[in-house]
A = this chain, B = another copy of it.
């Protein structure tokens, strides 16, 4: 099987690496990192991730994975990229997104009429592009699987793995990456976070918009 992961400048690194850590362990899974132009792409963590393939070198991946990040601002306005996503999606077995990658799918027209989710900050925006926003960690509608913000890509990929390769394979991968999460706080969703923490994050998002 083959997974194609879209890379672009200012992609969110964990959106890419979280799910790929899981998917890459599926037997006979090949992962290709693809971009409009090959080369090292800047990420939000000051690390660079390398795209080794351009669109023309990729044909009919089984899984198309679209991560999110600040960089989606420029790629959603790029007709070559959105057209590639739309066309590639037609023949996938699964089309997946992490975090604001769902907005890229939505703007490309892939989520019209579908239940989907994204980072909690962006969730209402999905409706603007004809999707049905769901307040869930992982949402499956037909062959499209979307998930909540950043770290949710790990949960999404384990779910996807169980659908592709079976529960035993998914469980073995979960144990191999010792994914027995124990966050020091219980504030990872807006419903659980104290009000002051919620407002702090909203404020940071507003500041980013203005920069």
A residues neighboring B (CB under 8 Å) = 5, 12-14, 16-18, 20-21, 24, 30-33, 40, 44-50, 52, 99, 119-120, 137-138, 148-152, 154-155, 158-159, 162, 167-168, 170-172, 174-185, 187-190, 192-194, 196-198, 200-201, 204
Contact = CB atoms under 8 A, between A and B. Distances in A.
B187 A120 contact: no
Nearest to A99: B178
Nearest to A187: B171
B178 A119 contact: yes
- The complex is assembled from copies of this chain, and their number is 2
Given A17-B17, A30-B46, A149 B120 contact: no
Interface residues of chain A: helix, strand, loop or mixed (majority):
mixed
B180 A168 contact: no
A61 B167 CA distance: 43
A16 B47 contact: yes
Contacts of A158: 183-185
Contacts of A50: 40, 47-50
- Which of A18, A40, A170, A182 has the most chain B CB atoms inside 10 A of its CB? A182
A20 B17 CA distance: 12
Contacts of A31: 45-47
A6 to B, nearest CB: 12
A39 to B, nearest CB: 10
